[in-house]
Amino acid sequence: MSRRLCGLTTRMGCVTTFGDVTVIATESLSKRFPRVTALDRLSVDVGPGVTGLVGANGAGKSTLIKILLGLSPATEGRAEVLGLDVATKGGAIRERVGYMPEHDCLPPDVSATEFVVHMARMSGLPPAAARERTADTLRHVGLYEERYRPIGGYSTGMKQRVKLAQALVHDPQLVFLDEPTNGLDPVGRDEMLGLIRRVHTDFGISVLVTSHLLGELERTCDHVVVIDGGKLLRSSSTRDFTQTTTTLAIEVTDTDEHPDGTGAVRDALLARGVTTHDSSGLPGAGHILLLTAEGEQTYDLVRDVVAELGLGLVRMEQRRHQIAEVFKDSDEQRKEAIGHGG
């Protein structure tokens, strides 16, 4: 109940097919270019499921994917994908891994079917299997009759689906999705995020998805890795993120009994020991209450309070986090750590 209220309808960890196996493991992985250090002693373990890789542009996300595909040698350190060393087993890794690039990569003058069949064969699927898997995969990503038309006439959302389909067509064990929501409108974003979630829950394929929007990944991923300047900033399960940092926004209706519904809720919450934040300066200030969700019980508490007062709950949503907040948090944590240490 509480889960559904807070929008987390996903069942985390239910479809884990590999047990406790790590899908990706890096050990003090570094990549230095003549003038730039793209990755700086990055050590991170990624398990099965959907993992978000968050970082600003130039944080080293794409470099990491390149190394993990065995296409670019690391300057230092080592990495394993599906238990295979990237330095020596690149070909074997690429056979079992799918990759969806950030940029456009589709020729406009062929149909989605032709293109994906070709890509399936490039992954080693025999001709008949390539055609069958293409039809299946395109259907699963939501492309139907249009798949016979040239890609040039597709919308951005459809193109993203074709890109996803070519990454999934050979039924990989893991896919790297580089900024899959780039250029999509809000509805398209939500659809793509839902699709990514399904790649794991329905298809049983682990996902590493990059984005520069943390909030977006929070809703989709089981685990989030944040890198900045090639360094690991944070790696934790999404549950930890939501438990420690979620800010809830609440909006309620007014009734005759409580002409100022918002104020009534604020007081009632205060009486139960939950303080609300100052929401002035935000759009809809005065009608929106902000509070920190300590965990699932907070959602229940809000629901109960609103129900007791007989008000209508117009909205209760998680405020999206920007990556800056993680930086702020981690700065604070670092300071705390230094404080404790000293």
Nearer Cβ to other proteins (91/339): 91
Nearer Cβ to other proteins (135/282): 135
| Tokens of residue 1, six digits | 């109940």
Tell which residue, 279, 335, 274, 277, has the closest CA to residue 306.
274
Residues that bind other proteins (CB under 8 A): 62, 65-66, 69, 71-72, 91, 94-95, 97-99, 101, 103-110, 114, 118-119, 121-126, 129, 133, 136, 140, 150, 166, 170-171, 202-204
Nearest distance, CB of residue 116 and other proteins, angstroms: 11
Nearer Cβ to other proteins (171/325): 171
Q: How far apart are CA 340 and CA 330, in angstroms?
A: 15
Nearer Cβ to other proteins (31/133): 133
Nearer Cβ to other proteins (66/223): 66
Nearest distance, CB of residue 195 and other proteins, angstroms: 12
Report DSSP letters for 205-259, one per residue. -EEEEEES-HHHHHHH-SEEEEEETTEEEEEEEHHHHHHHH-EEEEEE---SS-S
Measure the CA angle with vertex 104, ends 101 and 106; round to 5°.
100
Q: How far apart are CA 257 and CA 237, in angstroms?
A: 43
Measure the CA angle with vertex 189, ends 298 and 69; round to 5°.
105
Nearest distance, CB of residue 141 and other proteins, angstroms: 11
Nearest distance, CB of residue 61 and other proteins, angstroms: 12
Nearest distance, CB of residue 129 and other proteins, angstroms: 5
Nearer Cβ to other proteins (203/327): 203
Within a 10 A sphere around the Cβ of 119, how many other Cβ atoms? Answer: 20
Q: Token match 């884990």: residue?
A: 16
Nearest distance, CB of residue 229 and other proteins, angstroms: 21
Nearer Cβ to other proteins (120/269): 120
Nearest distance, CB of residue 238 and other proteins, angstroms: 23
Q: What is the DSSP letter of 72?
A: S
Residue 302: in which H helix or E strand, if any? helix 296-309
